[in-house]
Amino acid sequence: MTAEMLEAPAPDPELQDSSEPASVGRAAEEILRSTFGYSGFRGTQEKVIARVLRGEHTLALMPTGAGKSLCYQLPALARSGTAIVVSPLIALMHDQIRSARAVGIRAASMTSADTDNAATAEALLSGELDLLYIAPERANTQGFRRLLSQARLSLFAIDEAHCVSEWGHDFRPDYRALRPLLDAFGHVPRLALTATADRATRADILVQLGLPDDGLIVAGFDRANIRYTISAREGGARQIADYVSRRPGAGIVYASSRKGCEQLAARLQATGRRVGVYHAGLAPDQRAAVQAGFVASEDMVMVATIAFGMGIDKPDVRFVVHASLPKSIEAYYQETGRAGRDGDPAEARLFWSASDFAKARQWLGDVDDERRASERARLNALAGLVEASTCRRAILLRHFGETPPEACGNCDICLDPPTVLDATQIAKKLLSAVYRTGQSFGIGHVEKVLLGQPDERVRQRGHDALSVFGILTPEEAPLLRAVMRAALARELLISTDHAGLALGPDARAFLKGDRSFSIAKPRPKAPRRRASRSANPSGDPLFEALRAKRAELARANGIPAYIIFHDSVLREIASIRPTGLEAMAKVSGIGVKKLETYGEDFCAVVRGFA
């Protein structure tokens, strides 16, 4: 095979407009309409795709739900050859392959879970694949590189590209070894995609994957359809069960441990919700079965450790709950981003406690010296988010380098602004009591000393004779726990090995200085309200009939309902009421393949309401 045959073809002039860098050309626009059923691109999709069609290397930062997969799927159809997609999880590959095949894209994977790898290799060499998904471990083998040397390649797509960087929140060493493969096929355009990367991570990705600085395209990180709500954890499982029992649709609840998953799942099942459990302690076939059940369901709640979610592309998750503090703002953004990928309203709910920060601060002691400062900065940034008295979304977006409006109108702070209190004197009294009692007792003991409540333990240690005994006023007492949480989050207090409280590195400077200490006034418990469990707020019987038909077809074909059509497509059908295929073809999100496969079934439902 000659070198000429191995080279990716030059972009077809029909696919680009050299006078307008953001234009993809008429042929690509026709693929968008006929294959994917869309009349136009969203956000920066066109800019990214135009670069790929011109054969340029690119790093695209696009929020979850912004259509990242389209940025390599469309060029794979527009350019000659096969697109190689590097993806971190087999389940994610298989889910994306299923969606791609549903619109007529020839897609396959070569993984340890596939039994037809030889046939897939033949299809690659015969030019019968548009997309080939692989894990980075396979991509880095000599055997796979030899296979690619015999194939015609259209592009490399590196999905979840933050895994490349040691500074990323989900580092995978095998991702970092991709550069030699990419350089061996230097004529093939490479597209790296991620939803989460701060400035340091972006710079590292560019270097590690050999991408030019001018190839960085940042689409923005705002997920406007997600409502962010963060509150103190008081009651733990009861709080979360109460929340989940009132929320419609499918959801994910993240717990920090296997035991926590099992206990929380049992509590949620008692509410009547269908609940699954996912963690590393389950056998592989159990994990696969529960994940498949969640993907196919429209109302299941999955209680899982943080490994769950990266391997699915389920668009109709209506809520994501964190039962405890996430690892970082980057991790929080990615995990909450699994909600509302279909663009419909969704909620991210986080419950945190002082103990979360205490454990995180202790973990910092085991981190390598060279990384400890950056990890401490990440934890402090997270503290700023959970303690905020200003717009949560603005804090998130500023963390990723954006300049957002001061208020978003769709987070708990904006919807119900808290009262900000000066708690400087309470904080100083708390720190003084911790110091004077020996920096070894928990908040319960310190609280009794500050409130002047002598019990046997307080008397035995002579703490009822301290100057801090009973110095909290009745007005200050209800704020003590909130101040303690804030002090731990801000590292004025740290937790000892035996769950006691000790002064943090900044405590003495705070006690001697004039620095203020503000907190958001704790909110009273809200009355229980049952949220609507309907995805059909208008109560349109046609919409419900269309959903029933979708569920029937999904069961018959053994696929998730969203693979057929998203709710947004069904709402448009219910609105314009197409009775024939010509009218159905005008619905956004219905391309030629889906029109041929499902169009008549849904037209028949509409005709039944004519």
pLDDT tens string 334-355: 899 999 988 899 999 999 988 8
Q: What is the pLDDT of residue 302?
A: 95
The span from the CA of 248 to the CA of 587, in Å, is: 26
Q: For residue 157, give every residue at least 6 positions away whose Cβ sits within 8 Å of its Cβ, in sequence order, or none.
A: 71, 72, 83, 84, 85, 86, 190, 191, 192, 193
- Summarize the confidence of residues 201-226 as an average pLDDT: 93
Helices marked H in 41-139: 45-53, 70-78, 90-102, 117-125, 136-139
Q: How confident is the model at residue 2 (pLDDT cuts 50, 70, 90)?
A: very low
Q: What is the pLDDT of residue 5?
A: 35
- Summarize the confidence of residues 305-325 as an average pLDDT: 83
Q: What is the pLDDT of residue 533?
A: 45
Q: What is the pLDDT of residue 529?
A: 53
- Summarize the confidence of residues 531-552 as an average pLDDT: 77
Model confidence pLDDT, tens digit, residues 97-109: 999 999 999 999 9
pLDDT above 70 for 510? yes
Q: At what angle do helices 541-557 and 592-607 cross, to 10 degrees?
A: 130
Contact yes or no for 80/11 (Cβ under 8 A): no
Q: What is the pLDDT of residue 55?
A: 96
| Residue 457: count of CB within 10 angstroms of its CB | 12
- Summarize the confidence of residues 128-151 as an average pLDDT: 95
pLDDT above 90 for 466? yes
Residue type, 459: R
Structure tokens at 466: 């301290």
Q: How confident is the model at residue 167 (pLDDT cuts 50, 70, 90)?
A: low
Most confident of 89-98, 242-251, 283-292: 242-251
Q: What is the pLDDT of residue 124?
A: 97
Helix (H, G, I), strand (E, B) or coil at 415: helix
Q: How confident is the model at residue 471 (pLDDT cuts 50, 70, 90)?
A: very high
Q: What is the pLDDT of residue 45?
A: 94
Q: For residue 486, give every residue at least 6 positions away whose Cβ sits within 8 Å of its Cβ, in sequence order, or none.
A: 387, 423, 427, 517, 519
Q: What is the pLDDT of residue 239?
A: 92
Q: What is the pLDDT of residue 401?
A: 83
Q: At what angle do helices 26-36 and 592-607 cross, to 10 degrees?
A: 40
The span from the CA of 145 to the CA of 126, in Å, is: 17
Q: What is the pLDDT of residue 536?
A: 55
Q: How confident is the model at residue 20 (pLDDT cuts 50, 70, 90)?
A: very low
Residue type, 610: A
Q: What is the pLDDT of residue 95?
A: 86
- H/E element, 107: strand 107-109
Q: How confident is the model at residue 169 (pLDDT cuts 50, 70, 90)?
A: low
pLDDT above 60 for 242? yes
Higher pLDDT, 488 or 84: 84
* Half-sphere exposure of residue 172: CA atoms within 13 angstroms, side-chain side: 18
- Residue closest to 277 by CA, chosen among 298, 307, 311: 307
Q: What is the pLDDT of residue 526?
A: 57
Strands (E), 180-294: 190-194, 216-218, 226-232, 250-254, 275-278
Domains of the chain from N-terminus onward = 3-218 (3.40.50.300), 226-352+388-415 (3.40.50.300), 420-520 (1.10.10.10), 541-607 (1.10.150.80)
Q: What is the pLDDT of residue 8?
A: 37
Contacts 24+ apart (CB under 8 A), 43-46: 43/67, 43/219, 43/220, 44/217, 44/218, 44/219, 45/70, 45/71, 46/22
- Summarize the confidence of residues 285-308 as an average pLDDT: 88
Q: What is the pLDDT of residue 57?
A: 97
- Summarize the confidence of residues 140-168 as an average pLDDT: 91
- H/E element, 28: helix 26-36
Residue 543 Rama label (left phi>0; alpha psi -120 to 50; beta):
alpha
pLDDT above 90 for 118? yes
Q: What is the pLDDT of residue 513?
A: 84
Model confidence pLDDT, tens digit, residues 31-76: 999 999 999 998 899 999 999 999 999 999 998 878 899 999 999 9
Q: What is the pLDDT of residue 378?
A: 83
Residues written for the chain: 610
Q: Round the average pLDDT of the chain to a whole number and report it.
A: 88
Helix (H, G, I), strand (E, B) or coil at 88: coil
pLDDT above 60 for 507? yes
Contact yes or no for 397/223 (Cβ under 8 A): no
Contacts 24+ apart (CB under 8 A), 234-239: 236/323, 236/351, 237/263, 237/264, 237/267, 238/267, 239/351
pLDDT above 60 for 24? yes
Integer angstrom CA distances of residue 569 from 32, 105, 339: 16, 20, 18
Helix (H, G, I), strand (E, B) or coil at 61: strand
Rg (CA), the chain: 27
